[in-house]
Amino acid sequence: FSFFFFPQLGGCGILGVGIWLAVTQGNFATLSSSFPSLSAANLLIVTGTFVMIIGFLGCIGAIKENKCLLLTFFILLLIVFLLELTIAILFFLYSDKIDQYAQEDLKKGLHLYGTDGNIGLTNAWSIIQTDFRCCGVSNYTDWFEVYNTTRVPDSCCLEFTENCGLHSPGTWWKAPCYDSVKKWLQEHLLAVGIFGLCTAMVQILGLTFAMTMYCQVVKADTYCA
């Protein structure tokens, strides 16, 4: 029960953070024009809810020693594990194509910057360009197509002032945001790998415990019968 309880507790925490982001930050922080609902808040809410449901099934199944709930927990967790494994394999096999598609989609999203109903995307780009000291997806000239003139958002400026994006390119960040963020992720790849490995180990233990308990309950029912 203790093992199954911790995922449910974690799910509550993830759900709480997602709701807090949704309330305080609106639609922050989707950058994709193809998937406008793919915001940080929505992802956390969906993930937290799903983890809570799986954890709840495991907890109740363990307490009641219910075969149906334990088997449902096992199947759902197995599906999640296989999906994660499939996504990881596809990501490594088609990383170049994913890079190309992601950059094209992000460039399309630039055209939504500053428009009505896209405050989340606007805030996300402003924060990324300020924190990573970059401008545009692959180059600051990406913004020229958006504005149809030689200018960039003020968040691209070396020193932020109002309308500084109208000044010369010498006052703007030159680094491409896509490469800057990708480099940052690569620098933290070890931490991401350890987190992924720990997550996989917990899921495998969950699958093992659920199936072991299920088999014990089945044996007990057969013995009693």
| Region of poorest pLDDT, from 33-42, 66-75, 81-90, 174-183 | 33-42
Rounded distance between C-alpha atoms, residue 95 and residue 81, angstroms: 21
Helix, strand, coil abundance in the chain, percent, nearest 5: 75, 0, 25
Tell me if 130 is assigned to some domain: no
Q: What is the dihedral of CA 118, 121, 124, 128, to 10 degrees?
A: -130
Tell me if 134 is assigned to some domain: no
Tell me if 44 is assigned to some domain: yes
At which residue do the structure tokens 């509550």 appear?
12
Tell me if 48 is assigned to some domain: yes
Tell me if 6 is assigned to some domain: yes
Tell me if 143 is assigned to some domain: no
Please write the tens of the pLDDT for every residue from 105-129.
Answer: 888 888 888 887 777 778 888 888 9
Q: How many domains does the chain have?
A: 1
C-beta separation of 118 from 112 below 8 A: yes
User: Domain range spanning residue 57?
Assistant: 1-94+190-224
Report the mean per-residue pLDDT for the chain: 81
Tell me if 12 is assigned to some domain: yes
What interhelical angle do 189-224 and 177-187 show, nearest 10?
60
Tell me if 71 is assigned to some domain: yes
Q: Look at residues 140, 143, 144, 141 and name the one whose alpha carbon lies nearest to residue 175.
A: 140
pTM given for the model: 0.70
Is 104 in a helix, a strand, or coil? Answer: helix
* Confidence label for 142 from pLDDT (cuts 50, 70 and 90): very high
Dihedral pair phi/psi, residue 211, rounded to 5°: -70, -40
Sign, CA dihedral 200-206-212-218, equals negative
Rounded distance between C-alpha atoms, residue 155 and residue 140, angstroms: 11
